[in-house]
Amino acid sequence: MRIVRILKIAGIVLGIIFTVILSYVAYVFLTYHRIEDNQKLNVYTKGKAKKQDVTLDTEYSILTYNIGFGAYSSDYSFFMDGGKYSRAYNKQAAIDNINGSIDVIKSKDTDFIFLQEVDLKATRSYGVNENEMILDAFDDISSAFAVNYDSPYLIYPILEPHGKTKSGMSTISKFPIIDSVRRSLPIDTSVYKLIDLDRCYTISRIMVENGKYLCLYNVHLSAYTKDESIVNNQIKMLSEDIKSDLEAGNYIICGGDFNQDLLGDSPSIFHTPVMEENWAKPFPSNLLPSGIMVAYDILSEELRGMLAPSCRNADTPYNKETSFVTMVDGFLISDNVELNSIETIDNGFLYSDHNPVMMKFQLKPVK
């Protein structure tokens, strides 16, 4: 009788566990959704953005920075990279890292800013509205924010779940943004879509004095998909939009976190430790339309060799000697945009697993 009773209780417990697991799986799949494509974004103006149009033959500057949702201080490691943590250490750590990133950005005083992994409300960053913090730090700007992904509550890792995440990307300009749109990228349709989440890029247009537009493409391509064709399809879609703007005679700057090696040979340039599975594959520049190029490709070998890495692998705390580093952040530019300089702002990954990249450029007259 006692054995029967124990087996009965064990059966009930297992039944409850099984029901909870099934209910959770159902919740994840039923609440999963993709954000609509071609979503018109609200343009937010704070103070007085410069009233004049962007002019030709004038040097401007732009910075791109994946701020890592405020978690990645240099001693942080992330579970999806093989590290330990799934959230920022605590709410104050997230606030401190965002404030540190803001200080870095403001110190460069660039005309345009691209930011990725900016949380609006997420378990991983303890509900801190990072976009609000960033916008509060700047005066006289025009900006557009797009939600990159809005994920259901992920219960993994079990002891400290990654939780629910609503996060996105921000484009900030000293000049008025005329309009901005969010484009939904193709993503993995397998179960990996729950890990890599949604993906997008935004297109924000700035008026140029000759009647054309400076088209600012802010991108964050897939990182954790196992299917390499997904990233290629993302770049093909991006290229189609870029091609349309090129054919209209507009000026193109496409920047952000490409999650691909924009140098093509980062390991040899940075003499980084070899990874068994290098997730940062060479960027397939052959998929780009004629008239658009990776800004780093314009540099001489000497200047390429002087660059600092823009990203570290977060499997362990950052160590300059042993951490894997690469260059996944940067810019694509059209041939009517002249590159004056491009550099990584090397702050030793103090506030993020990425370093910012800054470019100076000018727009060429139409011939």
pLDDT above 60 (res 362): yes
d(CA 106, CA 140): 13
Q: What's the rounded mean pLDDT across residues 154-169?
A: 88
**Residue 156 pLDDT class (50, 70, 90 cuts):** confident
Both 102 and 148 in one domain: the answer is yes
From 54-63, 116-125, 147-156, 210-219, the region with the lowest mean pLDDT: 147-156
Q: How many helices (H) and strands (E) does the chain have?
A: 7, 16
Element (H, E) at 104: helix 91-108
Both 62 and 173 in one domain: the answer is yes
From 96-100, 274-278, 346-350, the region with the lowest mean pLDDT: 274-278
**Residues 78 and 313 sit within 8 Å (Cβ to Cβ):** no
Q: Which one has a higher pLDDT value, 254 or 35?
A: 254
Both 45 and 22 in one domain: the answer is no
pLDDT of residue 229: 85
Q: Which one has a higher pLDDT value, 326 or 27?
A: 326
Q: What's the rounded mean pLDDT across residues 262-283?
A: 85
Both 3 and 129 in one domain: the answer is no
For 287, residues 6+ apart whose C-beta sits below 8 A from its C-beta are: 232, 235, 236, 239
Tell me which residue of 337, 62, 53, 40 sits closest to 176, measured CA to CA.
Answer: 53
**Residues 332 and 297 sit within 8 Å (Cβ to Cβ):** no
Q: What's the rounded mean pLDDT across residues 131-148?
A: 97
Tell me which residue of 247, 259, 235 sits closest to 313, measured CA to CA.
Answer: 259
Tokens of 231: 């990233």
Residue 159 amino acid letter: L
Q: Which one has a higher pLDDT value, 316 or 158?
A: 316
pLDDT of residue 20: 65
Q: What are phi and psi of 343, to 5 degrees?
A: -150, 155
pLDDT above 60 (res 5): yes
Q: What's the rounded mean pLDDT across residues 124-130?
A: 97
pLDDT of residue 250: 98
Both 92 and 9 in one domain: the answer is no
The domain tally of the chain equals: 2
pLDDT of residue 24: 57
pLDDT above 70 (res 21): no
Q: For position 199, which CATH number holds?
A: 3.60.10.10
Both 248 and 331 in one domain: the answer is yes
From 25-34, 35-44, 185-194, the region with the lowest mean pLDDT: 25-34
Provide the 3-class DSSP secondary structure of residue 95: helix
pLDDT above 90 (res 25): no
Both 275 and 290 in one domain: the answer is yes
Both 23 and 70 in one domain: the answer is no
Both 104 and 52 in one domain: the answer is yes
pLDDT of residue 366: 78
pLDDT of residue 145: 98
pLDDT of residue 195: 57
Domain housing 26: 1-31
From 137-151, 161-175, 184-198, the region with the lowest mean pLDDT: 184-198
Both 23 and 103 in one domain: the answer is no
Tell me which residue of 351, 145, 339 sits closest to 251, measured CA to CA.
Answer: 339
d(CA 144, CA 232): 26
**Residue 266 pLDDT class (50, 70, 90 cuts):** very high
Both 17 and 69 in one domain: the answer is no
Residue 157 amino acid letter: P
Counting residues of the chain whose pLDDT is more than 70, the rounded percentage is 92
pLDDT above 80 (res 290): yes
Both 195 and 135 in one domain: the answer is yes
pTM listed for this prediction: 0.93
Counting residues of the chain whose pLDDT is more than 90, the rounded percentage is 73
pLDDT of residue 231: 87
Tokens of 82: 């093989």
From 130-134, 307-311, 344-348, 363-367, the region with the lowest mean pLDDT: 363-367
- Mean pLDDT (the chain) is 91
